[in-house]
Amino acid sequence: MDLTSRAAALDTEHRDTDLRHLFRLPPGVYLDGNSLGALPAAVPGAVHEVVDRHWGQDLIASWNRHGWWSAPQRVGDRIGRLVGAAPGQVVVGDTTSVALFQAVSAALTLRPDRRAIVIDPASFPTDLYVVAGLAELTGHHVVTASPDGIPALLDSRSDVAVVVASHVDFRTGRLWDLPTVTRAAHRAGAITVWDLSHSAGAVPVELDRHEVDLAVGCGYKYFNGGPGAPAFTYVGHRHQAGYVPAIRAWHGHAEPFAMEPTHRFADDVARARGGTPPMLSLLALEAALGVFDGLDIDDVRRRSSSLTGFLIEALDELAPEVEVVTPRDPEARGSHVSVAHPQAYGMSQALIARGVTGDFRAPDLLRLGVGAPYLTHRDVLHAVRQLRAVLDGGEAEALDGPRRTVT
């Protein structure tokens, strides 16, 4: 069967999870959902309501009247369903960087007699920066290991307090073995902090089932919450009484409006709340999550695996000169496919000029991110055909010059 027929057949097979009608999509093919998800159609109206009525008319009364105060935990529970967390374990409100700082700092207090933090050296740079900064502040030392090497490392030492790992490699799209790494950490007496930014909303995570300790993730990638959408923090029930993050802000106080001069943590996951959250972004994220209502994350995963698998198949047939660096095994990849090429930046710019939006990551990777709910196999095939045209026309070389600020 040729690729055109294959795409049509696969779109028919997965038609029940085609949710394009729930989004506002620009012309062309958008393959950057791993950086910023597309706009759900319900969000503009929801944001208008918040601005015009909540803020414009009800003002401060909206904290009570429109549930602003409860939103971090209410939205957290909606995310919790999608990452396998029972209610009462997820809050939303900070940036991912702040959430990670808070989670790792709290994890260190849970293992006060241990002095090592383990992190994957290929982690997203913010994760590396946060861990390095905390180590400097606290006197801990950082040990690096790839997630597939972490279990052996942990078997050889007893000083590891915290293991920080990303569920999906942001460059290659490799999906790491969260259950195995988590079990190894627990055998060694360490706390796990997982960064789910490139998996939450696309891949089943099952935090409770795998007894993950702490986790963070962003709201603007596969949750489609909009630019700068707030992050989420997961604190497993068994750790909530001892969860003591470094920054102690008033929304995490046991009685925020008692206005006491000293801090007392809330008894539940509210202790993971920080300062006043960005309500416009938080409520936009809440509206965006409506896309997942009635949808099982396993169904999203099946669609994503089919789309990324077909994308790799089309690349193999139509553009064999680019190197697919993403695992071909669907169990070992997230929801984006990366290809290596010396002119990857020029390729990304040429594709954008042709209406196909991906992104570039140094030094030589073109990333094609699959937001499964709003992409089809026909879209994927069209994108690869445009890549073929870029290569045939030498367009990448012509555009492989000075780089834009955001690549």
> Are the C-beta atoms of residues 174 and 333 closer than 8 Å to each other?
yes
Confirm whether 220 is a catalytic residue: yes
How does strand 29-30 pair with strand 39-40?
unpaired
Confirm whether 124 is a catalytic residue: yes
Residue 365: CB atoms within 10 Å? 23
Alpha carbon separation from 157 to 116, 118, 181, 188, 306 (Å, rounded) = 10, 11, 15, 8, 41
Kindly name the residue from 11, 127, 195, 213 that is annotated as catalytic. 195
Confirm whether 385 is a catalytic residue: no
DSSP for 218-281 reads -SSSTT---TTPPPEEEE-GGGGGG---S---GGGBSSGGG--SS--B-SSGGGG--S---HHH
Kindly name the residue from 30, 220, 232, 345 that is annotated as catalytic. 220
Residue linked to tokens 């046991």? 254
Assigned token pair, 198: 């490139």
Kindly name the residue from 171, 221, 271, 333 that is annotated as catalytic. 221
> Are the C-beta atoms of residues 407 and 334 closer than 8 Å to each other?
no
Which is nearest to 67 in space by CA: 321, 364, 279, 384?
279
Kindly name the residue from 78, 171, 301, 367 that is annotated as catalytic. 367
Q: What is the DSSP letter of 93?
A: -
Kindly name the residue from 23, 101, 124, 292 that is annotated as catalytic. 124
The Cα 20–Cα 27 span in angstroms is 13
Catalytic residue positions? 124, 195, 220-221, 367
